[in-house]
Amino acid sequence: MKKSIIYTAIGALALSACTKTQFSTPAYSPGSANFTNTVSVGNSLTQGFMDGGLYYNGQKNSYPAIIANQIQSAVKITFNQPMVTGNGSGYIHLVYENNQFSPIQPGDDSTAGVNPCDQDPSWNTWGDTSKRYNNLGIAGIRLTDCVALTPMEKLINNVAVNWQTTPFTGSRPVGNPYGRFINFGSVLANPIQYIDVIRKSKATFFTCWLGNNDVLGYSLNGGVITSLTVPGFGTFALDTITPPTAFAQKYDSILTAFHNMGAKGVCATIPNVSSIPYFTTVPIYVTVNGNPQYLWITTKTGVRQAMPGDLICLPAYSSVLTGVGFYKSNPLPDNLVLDMDEVANVQSSTLAYNSSIKSIAASYGYPVIDMYEFLGTLQKSYTIDGMTLTAQFIQGGAFGLDGVHPNARGYAVIANQFINQINLSFGATIPLADVSSYPGVNFPNF
Amino acid sequence: MKKLFLLFSLLPLSSSLFTLTAGGFQIPQQSVKSMAYGGAFAGICGDASALFYNPAGMNNLYGQNFTAGVLGLYPYVSLQTPSYGNIDQTSSVYTPIDFYWVGQFCDKWRIGLGVNNQFGSAASYPDTWEGMYIVQKITLKTFMFQPSVSYQICKHLSVGGGFVYTLGTFGDTKAIPVSSNTTSNGEVTINGTGHAFGYNFGLFSKIWETGNDSGSHQCIQLGVSYRSGLPMTVPNGDVTFSQIPASLATQFPASEKFSTKVNLPGVFTAGVAYKFSCCKNWDFMVTYDFNYTMWSTYDSLHIAFTNPNTPNQGFQYNWKNAMAHRMGAEVTYKKSYSFRLGYYIDGTPTQDGYLSPEIVDANSSGVCFGAGVKFCKHYSVDLAYLRSDFTTTSKTWTSQGFAAAYHRVINIFGIGVNYQF
């Protein structure tokens, strides 16, 4: 009988050894996609612009970089970004004083001595054009700047993208400082277009999220169109809304370029700009003695009080604090208000762009990620791994301190939308990025 | 008597009306002997742990009976998420104890006292992991103190009941998604103690018995019991926030208090046991229990902080009532050496879209075996082993945006002693 007990004990010990619960690592696969030379085209969102600047820690968490990092589980690839050093262009950070948070712009050294987020000394010389990059995102670039429909437009576009500190005697710098990692040639002798760069990219796979700035520039500037006079060329309107027909033609050119090199890829629609924190943080009224007092705003049709549907731009915050907008005689200027007519312009153009993006991509067989819809969800409330992200300024958790661009956590969420689509469309099994491991807003620790 | 029988026989039938889905954080193994029977004990009531499983069954015992046991509960849990091929829970051993005393003072009355840990749960994960904002470490421990009494109404029927006092401790640590230049996330730990009162009630019947002098003997025993739910309030628990950026100290102060309420469920049990001995040396027994646990009381958990600036927390669990089927068999040689086998099917109270990594659960089954040795008239020792293993497909906790496939293995080792005089 004792023997039986011993056998029982041995059996129990043997079973207790069987405590392996580990899952074997899934065979992550690229599916039918060839990620060898993955190229990402787009604007600030693609470049990894964050907190109003291009800085190392922001850029390394660009959504294309996050996607590429996840692809590594399936297949080893090289993914080069034109990295800046340290603070790069400088970026906005938060300070906490008198129980409130204030975003401090780079260059603003008035608050706490030296601003720790000022521009890096290397920024002025950043941009090695001799290297090939996989992330071709350029902050501020519009789709309309990428492809010219006329020879004249080719020159205008080059002026817009090609950074030149002294283009003409005595003039101020023109062009786009964030595009300095690309050789755009020279305006007159040899203008190189963004689409030319795409054509030479030899991409085997691409992500395309172009077009946001074709409405965003107009929006951020409160619908005010500024102009640039270039001696010998004339005056160019900046921050206009790209006409939807031109948008469609140009989008088609971009996809044709990818199609001609046999690349597969994914496209994304343009999000609705009117629900980003930039437009939702400053209210249209202030409360005086318990009553709402609607702010006075300047519109294209004159000065009036703000109404629901008008949007006040984030930079108006400090103006409102000093009393601007309280009286008809001292209204908020036009460039700090996106009034309802301007909102309607932006909306209709965005919808037209998106319908073009969907149909053009479909004609090439490229899948489209509906970022209009997804960012609409993210802006309301999106919960991932126990974190609830919203578009509330500072506290929302998904957007950075410029109120326009996502922070690293927000970019990780966006990267996962791309990965989901890639998995779905190309039969790939790329693991999703762990959103919880990406940083959110950096809160002051003093 | 016949009526009663009908009632019993209907119960298992009506169970089929429900989908076969008691899991959760109940520990059904409340004595080493019952554990070996797959947790079935309401009909057999073979030792003082009857006090817990069916207080009326205390009338099945004579003289003074003491039973005490300890379990070593070893859970192993791994997860696979859309981001990671494998994540392991950092296992923690949980050692529930049980102690029962049932005493006979006259022919028809029994009184007793039980102390055990009916509910308990523990899960711990690495400090930095994908679900750290949901849980890093969570523990729930309960101690139940239950004075009970039973009375034999007639030859075939006893009734019993008791009072249950519960002392519970609840602890939870998780990360908070706020970071600074020097910290990647904040952390909150809450610890609280709560109390609850409940009761236990049961009926027990040795409904049929036959035997002769040659040692042949047969009987059928039936039992039903109901253990009430225990609404446990945790009125004044401690909260510690750490690694919080200084600018957020108003919302997350270094320490404050919290309150919450944890609704522990009621359990209805019906059991039947058949015993027979065909000769002097061999006794046989088979038993079956049906459990219905009212887990729907655990629909949500709300944590209220005393600091008005700390956002209160609310989580929907939406658990549903759950059933379990438990069966056991025993062979005893010369009234001294017993071998036991058990099996159970335990339905999970969790529903699709509500599976939290805090309490990993799924429909499960388990196999159990055990042995008992009676050394002399007074002393006996029980040993038992249980193993349960399940793997799920990817399950979500939708409201928290978390998805994972789970693999859980539980090994439980039990040792118990009985003293009778």
Give the tens place of pLDDT for each residue, A178-228: 999 999 998 888 999 999 999 999 999 999 999 999 999 899 988 888 777
> Distance between CA B114 and CA B53 in Å, rounded?
11
Q: Please, are residues A432 and B403 in contact by the beta-carbon 8 Å criterion?
A: no
Instruction: List the structure tokens of A316.
Output: 């108006």
| Mean pLDDT of all residues in A167-173 | 62
Pick from B86, B181, B250: which is nearest to A442 by CB? B181
Phi and psi at residue B79, to the nearest 5°: -125, 150
* Inter-chain CB proximity B179 and A443 less than 8 Å: yes
Question: Under CATH, which number does the domain B2-420 receive?
Answer: 2.40.160.60
Pick from A4, A386, A445: which is nearest to B245 by CB? A445
* Inter-chain CB proximity A431 and B131 less than 8 Å: no
**CB-based contact (8 Å) between B171 and chain A?**
no
* Inter-chain CB proximity A384 and B401 less than 8 Å: yes
Position A322 confidence tier, pLDDT thresholds 50, 70, 90: confident
Predicted pLDDT at A287: 85
Predicted pLDDT at B35: 96
Predicted pLDDT at A323: 87
Predicted pLDDT at A13: 57
What is the radius of gyration, based on Cα positions, of chain A?
25
Position B7 confidence tier, pLDDT thresholds 50, 70, 90: very low
In chain B, where are the structural domains located?
2-420
Burial class (CB within 10 angstroms; exposed 0-12, middle 13-18, buried 19+) of A191:
buried
The rounded mean pLDDT for chain B is 90
Give the tens place of pLDDT for each residue, A238-251: 778 999 999 999 99
Give the tens place of pLDDT for each residue, B261-308: 999 999 999 999 999 998 788 999 999 999 999 999 988 889 999 999
Predicted pLDDT at A173: 75
* Inter-chain CB proximity A22 and B178 less than 8 Å: no
Give the tens place of pLDDT for each residue, B11-49: 333 333 233 323 678 888 999 999 999 999 999 999 999
Position A321 confidence tier, pLDDT thresholds 50, 70, 90: confident
Position A18 confidence tier, pLDDT thresholds 50, 70, 90: low
Q: Please, are residues A340 and A374 in contact by the beta-carbon 8 Å criterion?
A: no
Give the tens place of pLDDT for each residue, A426-441: 999 999 999 999 999 9
A397 chain-B contacts, CB cut-off 8 A: 177
**CB-based contact (8 Å) between A323 and chain B?**
no
Give the tens place of pLDDT for each residue, A373-432: 999 998 889 999 999 998 888 888 899 999 999 999 999 999 999 999 999 999 999 999
Give the tens place of pLDDT for each residue, B117-135: 999 888 899 999 999 999 9
| Mean pLDDT of all residues in A24-41 | 96
What percent of chain A has a predicted confidence (pLDDT) above 90?
72
In A79-108, the residues whose Cβ lies within 8 Å of chain B are 94, 96, 99, 101
Helix crossing, A340-364 with A213-220: angle to 10°?
Answer: 170
Domains located in chain A, CATH noted: 38-280+340-437 (3.40.50.1110)
Predicted pLDDT at A12: 57
Residue of B nearest to A413 (CA): B401
* Inter-chain CB proximity A385 and B131 less than 8 Å: yes
For tokens 């709560």, what's the residue? B194
Helix crossing, A408-426 with A63-71: angle to 10°?
Answer: 50
**CB-based contact (8 Å) between B308 and chain A?**
no
Predicted pLDDT at A99: 83
A386 chain-B contacts, CB cut-off 8 A: 131-134, 174, 400-402
Give the tens place of pLDDT for each residue, A272-301: 988 899 999 999 998 888 888 999 999 999
Predicted pLDDT at A223: 87
A394 chain-B contacts, CB cut-off 8 A: none
Which candidate, B398, B304, B250, places its Cα nearest to that of A395? B250
Predicted pLDDT at A8: 64
Count Cβ–Cβ pairs < 8 Å, chain A vs chain B.
Answer: 130
For tokens 């009306």, what's the residue? B17
Which candidate, B186, B196, B298, places its Cα nearest to that of B245? B186
